[in-house]
Amino acid sequence: MLSTRKYRNTHRLHWGGRFLLSIFLILSVLAVLTMLSPSLRSRLIWRYEVITTYLRGVVDPVKPLPTPRVRVFTATPTHLLSSAERPTPTPAPLVSSPTPTLTPTPLPQRIELPVPPYEKQDINNCGPATLAMLLRYYGWKGTQNDIAAVIKPIPQDRNVNVEELLYFTRSYVGWLRSEFRVGGDLALLKRLLAAGFPVVIEEGYLMEESYWPNDDRWAGHYLLLTGYDDGEGYFIAQDSFYGPNRLIPYVGLDQNWQAFNRVYFLVFPPESEATLQALLGEDWDVEANRHHALETAQHETQEQPDNAFAWFNLGTNLVYFERYEEAAAAYDQARTLGLPQRMLRYQFGPFFAYFHTHRIDDLMALTEYALKRTPNSEEALLWRGWGLYRQGKKSEAIASFEEALKAHPGYPDAEYALRFVQQN
C-alpha cells in the first residue's frame, strides 16, 4: 500500500495531469470550432485570450508595477519655458476659404451632433471601431475591419496608438484632414462640439470583470464625443464597448482622460481647417501645444503631488522635448506612487526616458513587466530589444525585434531596429 505522503503526491500528480488534459481539450475544441465561421472565430479567439491570460496570472501572480531601481527624483523639472521664452508659434497657412469670424458669445447650453452609424467593437478593437464611427460622421463607408486590417492585422493586438489612427486617416481617407493634440480641457471639448467637430479621446476606465487574480481592472479605451449638456453636466459619448449615447459626467471624464495626457483626435474636411485653427488658437501649433501640456502637467504635480498620472504626464511631455533626465525623474515619482498594471500596454514614454539615460536595469524591469501583462506588445518587445542591444546581447536583441514584427507585421520601428543592429 502507498504511504499517506506518497498517496497525496500521486493524487496531486493525477489532478495536475487531469487539469492539463482539460486545458488541452478546451484549446483543441476551440481550434476546431474556429474553422466554422468568422464570427464564431472572433468570439472564440477572445475566449482563448481570456483563458490563457487568466492561467498566466495563476502561474505567475501579478505584482505591482516595479518601483525605481535607483531613485534620482528631483522635485520639479529644472526649467520650464516661460511664455516670454517660448518660441513664437509659426501659424500654418490657412486654407483658401475666407477666415471665419468667431464671436465671443457664450456656448449653447446643450449640443447634440448627428450620431453616425454605431459600430460595436470586435476583439481588442475599440480604436478601429471608434475611428470608424468618427469617419462615418463625414460620409466614409468603411468598417472597423478595414481599419484593423491596416493598423492591427493580428486580432490579439491589444493596443492601438493615436498615431496609428492618424496614420490610417491620412493614408487611406485622404480626402479628410486629421490631427491630434494633448493637454486638452473640458472647455475646449465643448467649443469643438459646438462648432460641429466630434472628438475622439482616450481615457482610462475600470472593467467590469477581472482577467487574472488580483486584477486592478484598469484599462485604456477610446470614446467618440458627439455632444454635451451643461444643465445636467455630462458629455454624450459613442462607446464601442458599452453602447451608443452614453452620458459621461464632466468630472468623471476629466479624471479618466488625465491618464492619457488628455489626448484628443480630430477629423475634418479641408474647408473647415481655418475654423479649427481659430478654435485651437496656439494649440494648433504642435510645439506650442506640447509646451502647454507640459505646463499643465507641472501645475497638476504641484496641486496633486500624490497623483501618479500627473507625474506620468509630466514625464511624457518632457520626453517629447528630449529632456530625458527630468522625464526619468518624473516617471520615478509616478512609479513610486503606483501605476495601473496595464499602464505600459498603452504608453511607452518610460522606455524612452530610461534608455536615453542609460538606466538599462529599469528599462529591462519595465519591459519584462509589460510583457508579462501583454506578451505580444510590439512596443515592449521593441524596447526590450534595444535594452538587450545596449547590454551587448546582439543576437537576443535581434530575436526581440523579430518577435515585435510577428506581433505587428510591418511595424516600422522594429524594422528600423532590426536593420540598425544587423548592420552594426
Instruction: Give the per-residue pLDDT at 401.
Output: 98
Predicted confidence band of residue 15 (pLDDT cuts 50, 70, 90): very low
Amino acid making up residue 301: T
Instruction: Give the per-residue pLDDT at 54.
Output: 73
Average confidence (pLDDT) over 320-339: 98
Torsion over CA: 37, 39, 43, 46 (sign): positive
Partnered with residue 219 across adjacent β-strands are 205
Instruction: Give the per-residue pLDDT at 315.
Output: 98
Strand, helix or coil at 236?
strand
Whether 378 contacts 411, CB under 8 Å: yes
Task: Please state which CATH class domain 110-284 belongs to.
Answer: alpha beta
Instruction: Give the per-residue pLDDT at 414.
Output: 98
Instruction: Work out the percent of the chain whose per-residue pLDDT is above 70.
Output: 80
Short-list 387, 380, 388, 386, CA closest to 408: 380
The residues spanned by each domain of the chain are 4-59, 110-284
Displacement of CA 367 from its chain's centroid (Å): 16
Cell triple for 390: 545596449
Torsion over CA: 61, 65, 67, 69 (sign): positive
Instruction: Give the per-residue pLDDT at 70.
Output: 65
- The pLDDT tens digits of the residues spanning 92-116 come to 343 334 444 445 568 999 999 999 9
| Residue 37, pLDDT above cutoff 80 | no
| Residue 2, pLDDT above cutoff 80 | no
| Residue 12, pLDDT above cutoff 50 | no
Strands of 207-263, DSSP E = 218-229, 234-239, 243-249
User: Whole-angstrom Cα distance, residue 344 to residue 185?
Assistant: 24
**Among 73-77, 195-199, 248-252, the least confident range:** 73-77
Whether 358 contacts 393, CB under 8 Å: no
Short-list 352, 285, 365, 291, CA closest to 93: 285
**Among 8-12, 201-205, 210-214, 229-233, the least confident range:** 8-12
Whether 127 contacts 220, CB under 8 Å: no
- The pLDDT tens digits of the residues spanning 117-148 come to 999 999 899 999 999 999 999 999 999 999 99
Average confidence (pLDDT) over 79-84: 43
Instruction: Give the per-residue pLDDT at 1.
Output: 37
What's the pTM value of the predicted model, to 2 decimals?
0.84
| Residue 408, pLDDT above cutoff 50 | yes
| Residue 252, pLDDT above cutoff 60 | yes
Instruction: Give the per-residue pLDDT at 294.
Output: 98
- The pLDDT tens digits of the residues spanning 184-225 come to 999 999 999 999 999 999 999 999 999 889 999 999 999 999
| Residue 87, pLDDT above cutoff 50 | no
Instruction: Give the per-residue pLDDT at 32.
Output: 54
Instruction: Work out the percent of the chain whose per-residue pLDDT is above 90.
Output: 74
User: Whole-angstrom Cα distance, residue 388 to residue 35?
Assistant: 39
Instruction: Give the per-residue pLDDT at 57.
Output: 75
Predicted confidence band of residue 288 (pLDDT cuts 50, 70, 90): very high
Partnered with residue 265 across adjacent β-strands are 180, 200
Average confidence (pLDDT) over 260-278: 98
Cell triple for 89: 508659434
Predicted confidence band of residue 30 (pLDDT cuts 50, 70, 90): low
Cell triple for 293: 501640456
Ramachandran region of residue 322, left (φ > 0), alpha (ψ -120 to 50) or beta? left
Mean residue pLDDT of the chain comes to 87
Predicted confidence band of residue 28 (pLDDT cuts 50, 70, 90): low
Instruction: Give the per-residue pLDDT at 59.
Output: 79
Average confidence (pLDDT) over 75-101: 42
| Residue 14, pLDDT above cutoff 70 | no
